[in-house]
Amino acid sequence: MKDMAAKKFTLIGNRLEVDFVNTIYPRGVFCSWNDLVAFLEATGTIGRGEASRLRARGRREPEFCARAFGQAIMLRSVLREALAAIEARRPVPPHCAGAINTVLRSLEGYAQLMPAGKGWRLGFVARSLDPLQAMAPIAHSAAELFEKADTAPVRKCANPECVLYFYDTSRTGRRRWCSMAICGNRHKVAAFAQRRASR
Ligand SMILES: [Zn+2]
């Protein structure tokens, strides 16, 4: 299930909030509460149990969850703005921090060790009823990024037509493409054609 869900999304960002911003591509993949749940599951942010609880909630309270999804989309565009600022070495605008704080405020619950394979992972059990708190892990990760915004290696893919961002964790720190398969090869092919044409 996790692999199937993962294929739906372009998870090349190296950070949760960056991958979330990238759900804008491919178009039409991220358009409902269930897609948000699938994204959280595909990124390993929530387990299968939590995912089915959130899906059940979507069936039980469709309007409530649709509204939360609308807020998620708004948060996504604000985060996109923040990534553009970080990439350009500009300060993260205050309204971006404000949007993150709104999500963090919706959070009520406690940390718990949960079984993960043969070991354990530290998870979070929600106590509040606000569906917006499904976004909390994304907000947390974004908050961490904002804290180190002045040095964070956030970049946009070098293909000007590409909308994807990534957090460069490469050894050389010179990653240029969202992925070799999506944009890197296309660039190589175009450069090759250009060299041939100019011969
Ligand atoms: Zn790209």
What's the whole-number mean pLDDT along residues 83-91? 97
pLDDT at position 114:
87
Mean pLDDT of the chain: 90
Q: What is the 158 CA–ligand 1 centroid distance (Å)?
A: 7
Report yes or no on 11 lying in a domain: yes
Q: Ligand 1 centre from 163 Cα, in Å?
A: 7
Give the structural domain span for 84.
2-107+133-197
Residue 22 lies in a domain: yes
CA of 173 to the centre of ligand 1 (A): 17
Residue with structure tokens 């490469």?
A: 170
d(CA 53, CA 37): 10
Could you tell me if residue 126 is inside a domain?
no
Distance from the CA of 72 to the center of ligand 1, in angstroms?
23
Q: Which helix (H) or strand (E) holds 123?
A: strand 119-126
Q: What is the Å distance from ligand 1's center to 124 Cα?
A: 34
**Residue 6: what pLDDT?**
56
The per-residue pLDDT for range 131-171, each reduced to its tens digit, is: 888 899 999 999 999 999 999 999 999 999 999 999 999 99
The encoded tokens of residue 21 equal 């911003």
Quick one: pLDDT at residue 190? 73
- 180 falls within a domain: yes
Tell me the one-letter amino acid at 193: A
What's the pLDDT at 1? 47
Cα separation, 154 vs 65, in Å, equals 31
Ligand 1: centre distance to CA 125 (Å) = 36
Q: What is the spatial distance between Cα 157 and Cα 165, in angstroms, rounded to a whole number?
A: 6
Q: Among the residues of 31-184, which ranges form H helices?
A: 33-42, 48-60, 62-87, 94-105, 136-147
Q: pLDDT band at 8, cuts 50/70/90?
A: confident
Distance 89 CA to ligand 1 centre (A): 21
Q: Quick check: 10 and 181 in contact, CB under 8 A? A: no
Domain with residue 14: its CATH number is 1.10.3300.10
**Using CA atoms, how far apart are residues 130 and 164, in angstroms rounded to an integer?**
30
Query: Residue 119: in which H helix or E strand, if any?
Result: strand 119-126
CA 101 to centroid of ligand 1, rounded, Å: 30
For ligand 1, an ion, list residues with CB under 5 A: 157, 159, 162, 164, 178, 183
Q: What is the pLDDT of residues 115-128, one digit of tens each?
A: 888 999 898 787 77
What pLDDT, on the 0 to 100 scale, is given for residue 124? 77
Run of H or E including 108: none
Q: Is residue 61 part of a domain?
A: yes
Count of domains forming the chain: 1
Q: Using one digit for the tens of pLDDT, what is the confidence trace for 40-60?
A: 999 999 989 989 999 999 999
Ligand 1 centroid to 88 CA: how many Å?
Answer: 18
